[in-house]
Amino acid sequence: MDTKPLKLFLSLSETLHFGRTSALCHVSPSTLSRTIKQIEDQLGTTLFYRDNRSVKLTPEGALFQNYARDTLQRWESLQNSLLVESNELQGEISLYCSVTASYSFLYEILNRFRRQYPKIEIKLHTGDPAHAVQRVQREVEDIAIGARPDQLASDIAFRPITISPLVFIGPAQDQTMTQDLSGLADASHWSQIPMILSEEGLARKRTDQWFRTLGIKPLIYAQVAGNEAIVSMVSLGFGIGIVPLIVLENSPLADRVHILSVTPELPPFEVGLFALDKKLKSPLIQAFWSESAPEPTVLPG
């Protein structure tokens, strides 16, 4: 059964934006438009009002939205029942994370999971971790890895993996700047410092709050998607950046930047897995969820 058209429709019905839905679902805008048109032709009705400025669900679109959700839930329930009856789990799980996560702690999780469940295929997508929760909520991905937000939606399950401090970094070649900025933050000084910041996400929210506490606005040199790009730009001497320590520890440019000992410090990231609560009913997703728990430490005795 090909459920992709229903998933594309549901994603568009939530974003109400063709470009955003195309990016989230990894399809071209023309493929998305063609899929929606095919569904409308089959139903003989219009599901979306659309013009150059906006996209809105029609009353018929709202009815079909309920049908699509119910159909996908029934299909997933049937799949789960069939999997329970089989002797060995097999199928596919969609996973989303940052590049850093893919070759740091995710490597060990996948290594254990692959040995335990060799017939389950992992479809791995990488990108900005700021989109992790959003992609799970919109059912673009089954599981995503990212930092736990301060407020987590009630329908999202979270399993912590590690804690990572959020640190200020400066270019290694500019020792004077890093020394001047270390210690208790001075508002008059920091207001003149070019900053390289995330476009969005938890790191950006905590950075903005840090500057508000000082009573100033950051002097933004660049806003980028993904923490790896921040390390790169800082290493080139473009300004001061803020990244999770785990990103810096896994960066090939780590020796080209310095960590600044700045107070007040930023709250650390709690990194872990996200999944919809209802998705955990799937034997496949539950298997990955359980396998992601850290291996117990064996003490010498």
The percent of residues in the chain predicted with pLDDT above 70, rounded, is: 95
Of 245, 246, 239, nearest in space to 223 by CA: 239
CATH code reported for the domain at 166-267: 3.40.190.10
Helix (H, G, I), strand (E, B) or coil at 31: helix
Phi-psi region of 63 (alpha: psi -120 to 50; beta: other; left: phi over 0): alpha
pLDDT at 83 (0 to 100): 65
pLDDT at 87 (0 to 100): 62
Domain 87-163+269-296: state its class: alpha beta
> Within 13 Å of residue 66, how many CA atoms lie on the same side as its CB?
5
Determine the number of helices (DSSP H) and then strands (DSSP E) in the chain: 13, 14
276 CB-near residues (< 8 Å, 6+ apart) = 136, 137, 139, 155, 156, 157
Of 252, 271, 243, 224, nearest in space to 97 by CA: 271
Place of tokens 């029934």: 74
Q: Are 268 and 248 in contact (CB under 8 A)?
A: no
Which tokens sit at 136? 């799970």
> Within 13 Å of residue 252, how many CA atoms lie on the same side as its CB?
2
Domain 1-85: state its class: mainly alpha
* Overall average pLDDT of the 25-49 stretch: 92
Q: Write out the DSSP string of 90-121.
A: -EEEEEEE-HHHHHTHHHHHHHHHHHH-TTEE
pLDDT digits (tens, 9 = 90+) for 256-297: 999 999 999 999 999 999 999 988 888 888 889 988 765 543
Taking the C-alpha atoms of residue 1 and residue 78, their distance in angstroms, rounded to an integer, is: 12
Q: Are 12 and 18 in contact (CB under 8 A)?
A: yes
Whether 1-85 shares its CATH topology with 87-163+269-296 is answered no
Place of tokens 């996973």: 95
Give residue limits of the domains in the chain: 1-85, 87-163+269-296, 166-267
Among the residue ranges 45-49, 56-60, 160-164, 291-295, the one predicted with the least confidence is 291-295
pLDDT at 159 (0 to 100): 93
Helix (H, G, I), strand (E, B) or coil at 263: strand
Among the residue ranges 74-88, 191-205, 206-220, the one predicted with the least confidence is 74-88
